Chain A
Amino acid sequence: MPGQSNLLIELQSVSYAYPGSQFPVLQDICLCVGRAEFISVIGPNGSGKSTLARIISGLLLPTGGRVLVDGMDTGTPKTRKDIRRRVGLVLQNPDNQLVAAVVEEDVAFGPENLCLPSAEVRRRVEDALNAVGLSQVRGRPPHMLSGGEKQRLAIAGLLALCPLCVVLDEPTSMLDPVGRQEVLQVLRHLSDSGTAVILITHHMDEAAGADRVWVLGKGGVLADDEPAAVFSRVKLLHELGLTSTSAGDLAYRLSERGLELPTGIVIMEDMIKYLCRVLK
């Protein structure tokens, strides 16, 4: 029943093994995404984050279990087009996604494929380019952009589709801190206005800005919780080759020296509050 419940995406005991490999990358995963929810996904290299992104957006079909998007099974061939419309994906390497010869055509590609009226396409392209700050280079060929500009372009292409859920695979890995912050604001705004956001990142301070964090590792989901809870589990994170946030890392290093800190200090503001209390 599309559009009914607050639940947008549901992974029911999902497993996935790549063809020709007997070891599943993901095993028996159960996860939910609510409408307008902002989720970040962290995990070591090779833990299956990109694989999960492709499964959620219907590009890969699970080898076990099933994925429901807005009530529709991604495994049903009939629904493929409806799912594409609802879930948009930005790939890890933006080069694999840039299709047109000119920046603005690249952004228009998606909405044109949805057969929208041309005035609507133009409006969406305009909005998307503005949102990522690329209006000035709209006439350029995409391969003449710098690395970070290409990443923004891929995001603009996604925004123009106005999906119900956006999945972004390390969209900020090449962005400078200001660009990174801008993209996060765009994503936060999207989520506030009703779009679910799934953000894959290796940048813990960025992940902490989400409503919820999934930690992938050892073939499964090792944590699915609020940022303050996840980034307080420093031992688990270290075991996986991850870290806490900068503030969480500082809290950990202070507690290793024997100080007793309250739990849940994972952002700068919390750290400052704590320090003011003990130092003033």
Chain B
Amino acid sequence: MPCIEVEGLTHVYFPGIPLETVALRDIELTVYDGEFIALAGAAGSGKSTLAQHLNGLLLPTAGCVRVLGRDITDKEYRQQLWRQVGLVFQFPERQIFSPTVFEDIAFGPRNMGWDSITVNKRVKETLALVGLPEEIQDEDPRTLSGGMLRRVAICGVLAMRPQVLIMDEPGAGLEPAARQLILTSIKEIQSQQGITVILITHHLEDAAVFADRVAVLHQGELLSVGKTGEVLSQTRILHKAGLKAPFAVELAQRLNELGIKLPTMPLTVEEAARLLYGLIKTTGAGSGGVQ
């Protein structure tokens, strides 16, 4: 079942004046119910612009976007959209105004109309999901470090339990352990509760571990979309888009040029370790692989 259907979407900022920028051009993309899709592309390729169409913050200049079967230009529907579609902004710090961390995270859940017991419960749950201690609830967000504040902003969206979760560079500014924890938590929610996740990232190592499919934007156009393994091994396309293949893919290709062939293409460092270990243990088996 399609969850999001983007048809012929074009978005132009400031049409008709000298500042005119075509940020998206004729995008066709279907995101299916319950999948984890990564949206990658260089700076300025249109990722954030696309994301903001998916929760109705921006409207198409041309083309159409349907979310959960309904057109986002329907004004009534658009006003309800935030209940189903959660968006973690690229600079979520800007969305933080409350005097305490608790108030900030509770804002969305309260708007959902949930009672205070439920709201408290959601706040606690999500703090654990992003690896923040419960005591942080009472602190003033302005005294938190950059990475802590980001985690609070991610909590604010997760606490509403959106059916569709869009995250714009959620890993930026996070220590490696927190980044891993948060994406792992979200992957678990996705596979257990069947939510749909759209992860916007430059960091294809994260896509390699977590995404079912990857879509690549380049200068406002959709350059490639497909299974994670397929897209991430097309290094030429990735380079054209200003991206870099994950370390494991690059290493495998360099080794291949040197005549060392791995039996399959590793996408993650762990896979590379497994394959290389096997190869080293049976040295001499360095030929006849698929590539």
Residues of A within 8 A of B (CB): 18, 43-47, 50, 92-93, 95, 140, 144, 146-149, 152, 169-170, 173-180, 202, 204-205, 240-243, 246-247, 249-250, 253-254, 257, 259, 268, 271-272, 275-276, 278-280
Interface contact A92-B277, CB-CB below 8 Å: no
A253 and chain B: residue at smallest CB distance: B273
| Given contact pairs A144-B19, A147-B48, A149-B43, A46 touches B286 in the complex (Cβ within 8 A) | no
Contacts of B175 in A (CB 8 A): 43-45, 202, 240-242
Contact for A242 among B151, B176, B273, B277, CB less than 8 A: B176
Interface contact B91-A147, CB-CB below 8 Å: yes
Interface contact A268-B251, CB-CB below 8 Å: yes
Contacts of A43 in B (CB 8 A): 175
Contacts of A272 in B (CB 8 A): 251, 254-255, 258
Interface contact A148-B43, CB-CB below 8 Å: yes
Contacts of A140 in B (CB 8 A): 19
Contacts of A280 in B (CB 8 A): 259-260, 286
Interface contact A278-B280, CB-CB below 8 Å: yes
Contact with A along B252-291 (1 / 0, CB 8 A): 0011001110000000011011001101100100100000
A18 and chain B: residue at smallest CB distance: B143
Interface contact A177-B272, CB-CB below 8 Å: no
**B67 is an interface residue with CB less than 8 A from chain A:** no
| Given contact pairs A18-B143, A202-B174, A175 touches B269 in the complex (Cβ within 8 A) | no
Alpha-carbon distance A169/B42, docked complex (angstroms): 21
**B148 is an interface residue with CB less than 8 A from chain A:** yes
Count residues of chain B with CB under 8 A from any CB of chain A: 52
Contact for B173 among A92, A95, A257, A259, CB less than 8 A: A92
Shortest Cβ gap from B200 to chain A (Å): 10
Shortest Cβ gap from A23 to chain B (Å): 12
| Given contact pairs A46-B147, A140-B19, A176-B243, A268 touches B176 in the complex (Cβ within 8 A) | no
B169 and chain A: residue at smallest CB distance: A174
Contacts of B270 in A (CB 8 A): 253
Shortest Cβ gap from A39 to chain B (Å): 19
Interface contact A178-B42, CB-CB below 8 Å: yes
Contacts of B13 in A (CB 8 A): 144
Contact for B283 among A95, A180, A268, A278, CB less than 8 A: A278
Interface contact A268-B202, CB-CB below 8 Å: no
Contacts of B144 in A (CB 8 A): 46
Alpha-carbon distance A107/B190, docked complex (angstroms): 44
Alpha-carbon distance A140/B174, docked complex (angstroms): 30
Interface contact A50-B255, CB-CB below 8 Å: no
A256 and chain B: residue at smallest CB distance: B273
A141 and chain B: residue at smallest CB distance: B19
Alpha-carbon distance A171/B256, docked complex (angstroms): 34
Alpha-carbon distance A152/B44, docked complex (angstroms): 12
Known: A179-B242, A205-B247. 8 other contacts (CB 8 A): A92-B173, A93-B146, A173-B173, A175-B43, A177-B202, A254-B276, A257-B273, A276-B260
Alpha-carbon distance A46/B151, docked complex (angstroms): 12
Contact for A275 among B43, B244, B250, B260, CB less than 8 A: B260
Contact for A174 among B19, B43, B250, B259, CB less than 8 A: B43
Shortest Cβ gap from A122 to chain B (Å): 22
Contact for A146 among B43, B93, B145, CB less than 8 A: B43
**30 CB-based A-B contacts, threshold 8 Å:** A45-B146, A45-B148, A50-B145, A146-B43, A146-B44, A147-B91, A147-B169, A149-B43, A170-B173, A174-B172, A174-B202, A175-B43, A176-B42, A176-B43, A176-B202, A176-B243, A177-B202, A178-B242, A180-B202, A202-B174, A241-B175, A241-B178, A246-B205, A246-B269, A250-B276, A271-B251, A272-B254, A275-B276, A276-B260, A279-B279
Alpha-carbon distance A92/B255, docked complex (angstroms): 37
Interface contact A279-B286, CB-CB below 8 Å: yes
Alpha-carbon distance A240/B277, docked complex (angstroms): 27
Contacts of A144 in B (CB 8 A): 13, 19, 21
Contacts of B94 in A (CB 8 A): 95
| Given contact pairs A45-B178, A46-B145, A173-B173, A179 touches B269 in the complex (Cβ within 8 A) | no
**What 3 A-B pairs are tightest by C-beta distance, nearest first?**
A148-B43, A45-B147, A241-B177
Contacts of B247 in A (CB 8 A): 205, 246-247, 250, 268
A145 and chain B: residue at smallest CB distance: B44
Contact for A254 among B41, B93, B277, CB less than 8 A: B277
B42 and chain A: residue at smallest CB distance: A176
Interface contact A179-B43, CB-CB below 8 Å: yes
